[in-house]
């Protein structure tokens, strides 16, 4: 019988200790940031969500991986049979040479199937509906945009939601006290 070399035995132990103990679906954390449009869920009523690919330049990808992006004031537009992300700010990549830099505020093409575009088009044609990005993230190494067809909320709708949240917090607080 061949005994294992002590170095191999030690590396096997370290490998076994470093493996995840749980295989829950939610445990998988992406090493790249997820840029969220937090204001969108407050200002709009989300009707339908869709995941779209992003057509980016090399420096945009590197800047997005570094988390240098903002979706504040961003929206999507349907032009002909294509969808574009407008108003999203992906900052310049600091390590790139000036000639290779991208325009931070340029319109970026979103990659969707024709049927998805037609479905979004029907939402946009309705009065008060628009397309807004909810998040920018990476999925299996590809840049993605979570796009939503949404209807704008009025001020009283926002106040009602704030009131409901406050009531739910009060109920939860009382439930914890009674335990």
- Is 159's pLDDT higher than 50? yes
- Is 76's pLDDT higher than 60? yes
Q: Which of 21-30, 42-51, 106-115, 136-145 has the lowest mean pLDDT?
A: 21-30
Mean pLDDT score, 123-142: 92
Mean pLDDT score, 63-76: 91
Mean pLDDT score, 12-35: 53
pLDDT number for residue 128: 87
pLDDT bracket for residue 155 (50, 70, 90): confident
Mean pLDDT score, 6-34: 50
CA distance 160 to 164: 6
* Residue pair 174/67 in contact by the 8 Å Cβ criterion: no
CA distance 89 to 68: 8
Residue 144 has φ and ψ, to the nearest 5°, of -130, 155
Report the percentage of the chain scoring pLDDT > 90: 51
Tokens of 7: 């170095």
pLDDT bracket for residue 21 (50, 70, 90): very low
Structural domains in the chain plus CATH codes: 31-154 (2.40.280.10)
pLDDT number for residue 29: 66
């Amino acid at each position: 019988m061949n005994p294992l070399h002590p170095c191999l035995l030690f590396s096997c132990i370290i490998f076994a200790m470093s493996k995840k103990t749980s295989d829950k679906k939610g445990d998988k954390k992406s090493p790249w940031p997820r840029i969220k449009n937090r204001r969108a869920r407050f200002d709009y009523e989300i009707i339908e969500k869709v995941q779209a690919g992003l057509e980016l330049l090399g420096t945009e990808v590197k800047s997005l991986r570094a988390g240098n992006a903002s979706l504040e004031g961003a929206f999507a537009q349907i032009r002909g049979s294509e969808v574009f992300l407008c108003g999203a700010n992906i900052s310049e990549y600091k390590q790139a040479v000036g000639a290779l830099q991208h325009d931070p505020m340029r319109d970026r093409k979103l990659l969707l199937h024709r049927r998805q575009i037609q479905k979004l088009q029907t939402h946009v044609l309705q009065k008060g509906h628009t397309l807004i990005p909810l998040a920018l993230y990476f999925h299996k190494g590809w840049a993605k945009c979570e796009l939503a067809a949404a209807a704008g909320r009025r001020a009283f709708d926002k106040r009602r939601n704030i009131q409901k949240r406050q009531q739910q917090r009060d109920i939860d607080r009382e439930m914890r006290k009674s335990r």
